[in-house]
Structure 1
Amino acid sequence: MAKGYWIAQVDVEDTERYGEYSALIDATLAPFGGRFLVRGGRREDVEGVTRQRAILIEFDSYEQALACYRSDAYQAIIPLRAGAAMADIVVVEGEGAR
């Protein structure tokens, strides 16, 4: 079965408030099997326009990835992020690492 992913690029404008969002995200992802594959770290922007942070979250399926994003729990913490950062997020289906 193909995996599902959240691919996010984020510019943090208020680190304290974004920290409140970050403190809640793991518990929000857990019921849907979401796992961070990339959450910060070294990077080099080699092409195109990007944001400060690149984030990749893996789920066991595309359906789980969408269900997590649409869940009441995740929707409840979006206002914390929205007031602290600009984010571009896409949910995609992919094969994942073998």
Structure 2
Amino acid sequence: MAKAYWVGHIIVHDAGGYEKYRAANAVAFEKYGAKFLVRGGEQTVREGSSYPRTVVLEFKDLATAQACYDSPEYQAAKALRDPVSEGNLVIVEGYN
């Protein structure tokens, strides 16, 4: 079974508000076994464009990654994130 990933590109407009989101999302990420592979480290855009923050989380499979996003725990955290940031999030199945 292939692992799955959340790949997010984010612009944070309010760092304090975003910290509240980060604290809240830990509940869902722990429940669904998410593992951070990338969490806002230094990046260089070589082609196209991107937002200044990139996040990659690993999940055991696609169903778990999707269930985490749809969970009440994550949706509560997302409600904190939405007013203080903007971005794109893709849930993608890994390659075996």
Q: TM-score, normalised by structure 2?
A: 0.95
The CA distance in 1 between the partners of 2:32 and 2:79, in whole Å, is: 20
Q: Partner of 1:83: helix, strand, or coil?
A: helix
Partner of 1:48: 48
Deviation at 1:20, TM superposition (A): 0.3
The CA distance in 2 between the partners of 1:48 and 1:71, in whole Å, is: 32
Partner of 2:82: 82
Partner of 1:63: 63
Could you list the runs of 5+ residues in structure 1 that have no partner in the other structure? Answer: none
The CA distance in 1 between the partners of 2:79 and 2:72, in whole Å, is: 12
Q: Which residue identity lines up with residue 57 of structure 1 in the other structure?
A: L
RMSD, matched Cα = 1.1
The CA distance in 2 between the partners of 1:42 and 1:11, in whole Å, is: 14
Deviation at 1:95, TM superposition (A): 2.8
Q: Which residue identity lines up with residue 92 of structure 1 in the other structure?
A: V
Q: Partner of 2:69: helix, strand, or coil?
A: helix
Deviation at 1:25, TM superposition (A): 1.6
Residue deviations 1:21-43, cap 9 Å, x none?
01122221111111100001121
Deviation at 1:77, TM superposition (A): 1.4
Q: Partner of 2:38: helix, strand, or coil?
A: strand
Could you list the runs of 5+ residues in structure 2 that have no partner in the other structure? Answer: none
Q: TM-score, normalised by structure 1?
A: 0.93
Deviation at 1:18, TM superposition (A): 0.4
Q: Which residue identity lines up with residue 54 of structure 1 in the other structure?
A: T
Q: How many residues in Structure 1 have an aligned counterpart in Structure 2?
A: 96
